[in-house]
Structure 1
Amino acid sequence: MATNTTTERTLAPAPAPSARDRLLDAAEALIYAGGIHATGVDAIVKQSGTARKSFYTHFESKDALVAAALERRDERWMNWFIAGTQRRGTTARKRLLGMFDVLREWFASQDFHGCAFLNAAGEIAFADDPIRVVAREHKEHLLAFVRTQCDEFVAESNGDAKRAARLSRQWLVLLDGAIAVALVSGEPDAALDAQAAAQTLIDVPSIGKRDASASNKASRQSSSKPPPSRRTAT
């Protein structure tokens, strides 16, 4: 009797996670929920279900484990955020504003504890620490993705191409600001407040130009006036 190998492969159980993966899973979960300094190696080993020897086999230190866990989270989080953003619309404007809807869903989830990378960076004093480096690289990855959407938005709206770089940096501030406010306040709608500010930012681009124009005009008027006389009244 012929064997249905396709069905057998489909029904075959997935391979069990390796000891290294279990350590990474445990480290990420515990550190995200409780912080780096509050989480010890023993707790990570216990939750992972591995032997302490496995920890030293795969990682030279707790910091190395944390950095590796954050690197893996960066890839997974970015894939999730990009996919969610892409589903929000067919235009760059809809996708940019839709980023805040994606965040709101995250904020409303039971396991939301803020940005793991901002949290980690806040616990590490030195800028060149591997953990801080991973956190900084995550923000660079996020900014790069936002920049692609800003480039498309500027092209769609026939705007100044130079605006995209500034807009992407401002957008990152709004995204991170929404995450921070949602963490502290416990209010998922912080994402909608940031979205409203973002909408103003892209729909009223001339505000900054008017302010700059007014400032330049005032400067020119001031410089065109003759300097005050130094003669004293007699």
Structure 2
Amino acid sequence: MSDDQMPPARRRILDAADRLFYLNGINSTGVDAVIEQAQVARMTFYKHFGGKEALILAYLSGRETRWQTLLERSIGRAGEDPRARLLAVFDALRSWATSETRFRGCSFVNAMAELADPDHSARAVITSYKGALRDRVLELAREAGAADPELLTDQLLLVYEGAISNHSLGNVDDAVHKAHFTAEQLIAAAVPV
């Protein structure tokens, strides 16, 4: 269901869950807080989601959709240069990290840490998302002509995840910018001109 086809109450519930889950954590945010922030009746919430687990899945799905849109837009803006298209992953990261009001890292990594039950349905969504990101970076590394696209993909993802953690923790000044520069160097070393 696209955003323009979504009932307003469902949109308000998802918006509230997105804010609260991301800023306060999934486990710390109860259904009552989401209902109150969304200004909907309890029955309206249960009509649309049936419970918190379905809301968590919708929250993660929405985050994934927004990231994929931002990523593909960044790749598109990079034009036809395959090296620039690969580096666009870090352009998207910079855009995303600086657009959050209070950046708390990757919502998927945060959710994985909170939802410790290996059988929780959200863990499959998280694994799928991270796998899709790896597949996309690998595809871009191959298009760029990297000598070892698997190795370059692994290196870039390590820098990507490290940038997110260090940016949110404040351990490294301007971590996302430094990760972008590091990615440029890795790509330059791995992709022939």
- For the superposition of Structure 1 and Structure 2, which TM-score range results when normalised by the shorter chain? 0.7 to 0.9
Higher helix share: 2
Matching of residue 49 in structure 1 with residue 61 in structure 2 = no
Matching of residue 82 in structure 1 with residue 77 in structure 2 = no
* Superposed displacement of residue 29, structure 1: 1.4
Matches within 5 A, 1:89-128: 89-111=79-101, 112-128=103-119
User: Of residues 141, 156, 174 in structure 2, which corresponds to 1:171?
Assistant: 156
The residue matched to 1:108 in structure 2 has which SS? helix
* Superposed displacement of residue 45, structure 1: 0.4
Alignment correspondent of 1:9: none
**RMSD of aligned Cα (Å):** 2.3
Alignment correspondent of 1:23: 13
* Superposed displacement of residue 98, structure 1: 3.2
CA contact (8 A) 1:101 1:191 kept: no
TM-score by length of 2: 0.85
Cα deviations by residue, 1:74-125 (Å, 9 ceiling, x for unpaired): 1121111221232134312112223323322332234232211111111111
Write the distance in 1 (CA, Å) between the matches of 2:99 and 2:53: 28
The worse-fitting range, judged by mean Cα deviation, of 29-38 and 101-110 is 101-110
User: Of residues 177, 184, 191 in structure 2, which corresponds to 1:199?
Assistant: 184
Amino acid at match of 1:172: L
TM-score by length of 1: 0.71
Please list every run of 5 or more consecutive structure 1 residues that lacks an aligned counterpart in the other structure. 1-13, 207-234
User: Of residues 141, 148, 153 in structure 2, which corresponds to 1:150?
Assistant: 141
Alignment correspondent of 1:62: 52
* Equivalent residues, number: 187
Work out which structure has the larger RCO, using CA pairs closer than 8 Å and 6 or more positions apart in sequence. Answer: 2
Amino acid at match of 1:199: E
Identity fraction in percent: 38
CA contact (8 A) 1:178 1:194 kept: yes
Please list every run of 5 or more consecutive structure 2 residues that lacks an aligned counterpart in the other structure. none
The residue matched to 2:99 in structure 1 has which SS? coil
User: Which of structures 1 and 2 has the bigger CA Rg?
Assistant: 1
